[in-house]
Amino acid sequence: MSSWSELLSSSPLLMGIVNVTPDSFSDGGLFLSPQKAVCHAEELLLSGADIIDIGGESSRPFSEAVPLEEEMRRVIPVIKQVSIRMEALISIDTYKARVAEAAIKAGAKIVNDISALRFDKDMAKVVADYKVPVVLMHMKGTPKDMQLNPYYEDVLKEIYQFFEERIEFALKNGISEGQICLDPGIGFGKRLEDNLRILKHISYFKSLGFPILVGPSRKSFIGQILGIENPARRDIGTMGVIAYLVTQGVDIIRVHAVKECRQITDILHAILHID
């Protein structure tokens, strides 16, 4: 299994999504049992995923928080089995420090924190102590209220400044530069025009000097543009977004339909790197 730094040198990477939840916006309930979740992780790896992102709490708009013990009950058995059975780089999608620590002990190698270390005062210490990579994501508000009339004077500037503050916080709390990855949070407290502006100018955030992760897969802005209400039917629209992101040098793309996305990224990577 390749290390984090080795993988980044051959980006774009695909982060396959395993939602061990009953209420995720696209695939809630499909992989709630550990057995189904582990099988899905294996399918994603065989389809070309570089990272498996396992989460036990939905962060869809207006979702409710999940109790810590319930979140651990959902994800830890899955992480253990994936770690034992597969050569997988596992990410734990959580903002809770105790869940992250248990997940790391079970085999996770990356912490994907939608709160960028804000919601749990102990998360930074866990990341620093275990020296694992951490994804710092921008979100306005919380999943429960983030889509209640979000507004920005300058969405790019505000996210950039948010990243600067969170990077400084991480470094002051013992997290090294090499551990940090940034995610502008497509769909997290954003309007349609905000999502499109972030995507169009995604290279703006590259100037911060850290890997960039983007998660556009099946998001509502794609449904708004195409008039598709069912998230599971937004994969073709998602491919269009991913194709653009590859041309912009995005390092990691978080997706549901790994097989199709792998084909697109491989073709574009070949074209972009020919003399």
pLDDT by residue for the chain (275 residues), tens only, comes to 566 777 787 779 999 999 998 755 454 456 668 889 999 999 999 999 999 999 999 887 776 788 999 999 999 999 999 999 999 899 999 999 999 999 999 999 999 999 999 999 999 999 999 999 999 999 988 877 778 888 999 999 999 999 999 999 999 999 999 999 999 999 999 999 999 999 999 999 999 999 999 999 999 999 999 999 999 999 999 999 999 999 999 999 999 999 999 999 999 989 998 98
Q: Please say if 254 is a catalytic residue.
A: yes
Looking at residue 179, its pLDDT comes to: 97
* Range(s) of the domain holding residue 115: 4-272
Looking at residue 145, its pLDDT comes to: 79
DSSP E strands, 176-274: 180-183, 213-214, 252-255
Looking at residue 11, its pLDDT comes to: 73
Residues sharing a CB contact under 8 Å with residue 61, sequence separation 6 or more, in sequence order: 25, 143, 146, 147, 187, 220
Looking at residue 29, its pLDDT comes to: 53
Distance (Å, whole) CA 187 – CA 190 = 5
Looking at residue 142, its pLDDT comes to: 82
Q: Find residue 55's DSSP bridge partners.
A: 19, 93
Residues sharing a CB contact under 8 Å with residue 184, sequence separation 6 or more, in sequence order: 137, 138, 159, 198, 202, 205, 212, 214
Burial 15-30 (b: 16+ CB within 10 A, else e): bbbbbbbeebbbbbeb
Task: Say if CB 58 and CB 21 are below 8 A apart.
Answer: yes
Active-site hit among 80, 109, 218, 254: 254
Instruction: Please count the CA atoms within 13 angstroms of the CA of 206 that sit on its side-chain side.
Output: 11
Q: Find residue 136's DSSP bridge partners.
A: 113, 182
Distance (Å, whole) CA 269 – CA 228 = 29
Q: What is the CATH number of the domain that holds 63?
A: 3.20.20.20
Q: Please say if 125 is a catalytic residue.
A: no
Q: What is the CA radius of gyration of the chain?
A: 17
Other Cβ atoms less than 10 A from the Cβ of 174: the count is 13
Count of domains in the chain? 1
Looking at residue 21, its pLDDT comes to: 85
**Rounded to the nearest 5 degrees, what angle is found at the Cα of 157, between the Cα atoms of 220 and 15?**
45
Looking at residue 245, its pLDDT comes to: 97
Active-site hit among 219, 234, 259, 262: 219
Read off the amino acid at residue 195. N
